[in-house]
């Protein structure tokens, strides 16, 4: 859509301004249709930027992860979605999430780390590479818990 194209171009411009060598690499994440940029009075919110980044990553990961990706949505409670194989599935999830309220990342991060560890080292572990990508639109409310979780996982 023209709005999405404008948002992609705006985000790409912001990223390229901060780190010029990434300009060429961003092309894979930007839809190819031409559209006018969004009006100056309609800037992207942090939530829209986070969703846009997640969509780009999902497109690339879906090409190599045939099982689909797992998406955990952190908020007041953790919501878990498995086997997402395309951007349409991701759009259905993000359209159902309101970017307001609490952001308690600890439970979602704990779940993601636990599941990744089990897939790697559990009885049925397949030693398949595991990646955890965290995309945030604001500072988590439980940042002290997050530090502890990451330290525990690293030890």
* Cα(137)–Cα(92) distance, integer angstroms: 18
Domain extents in the chain: 45-154
**pLDDT score, position 107:** 92
The kind and range of the H/E element at 87 are helix 87-95
Of the candidates 149, 69, 48, 54, which has an alpha carbon nearest to the alpha carbon of residue 107? 149
Return the pLDDT at 105: 92
What pLDDT does residue 29 have? 47
For 13, the 3-state DSSP assignment is helix
Ranges of the chain whose pLDDT falls below 50:
22-23, 26-35
Taking alpha carbons only, the member of 80, 92, 85 closest to residue 66 is 85
Does the pTM exceed 0.85?
A: no
């Amino acid at each position: 859509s023209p709005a999405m194209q404008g948002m992609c171009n705006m985000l790409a411009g912001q990223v390229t301004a901060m780190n010029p060598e990434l300009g060429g690499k961003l092309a894979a994440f930007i839809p190819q249709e031409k559209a006018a940029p969004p009006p100056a009075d309609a800037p992207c919110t942090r939530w829209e930027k986070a969703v846009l980044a997640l969509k780009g990553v999902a497109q690339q990961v879906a090409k190599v992860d045939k099982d689909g990706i797992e998406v955990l949505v952190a908020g007041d409670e953790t919501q878990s979605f498995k086997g997402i194989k395309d951007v349409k599935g991701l759009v259905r999830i993000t359209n159902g999430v309101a970017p307001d309220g609490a952001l308690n990342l600890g439970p979602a991060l704990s779940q993601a780390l636990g599941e990744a560890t089990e897939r790697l080292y559990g009885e049925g572990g397949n030693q398949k590479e595991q990646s955890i990508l965290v995309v945030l639109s604001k500072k988590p409310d439980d940042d002290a818990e997050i530090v502890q979780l990451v330290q525990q996982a690293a030890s």
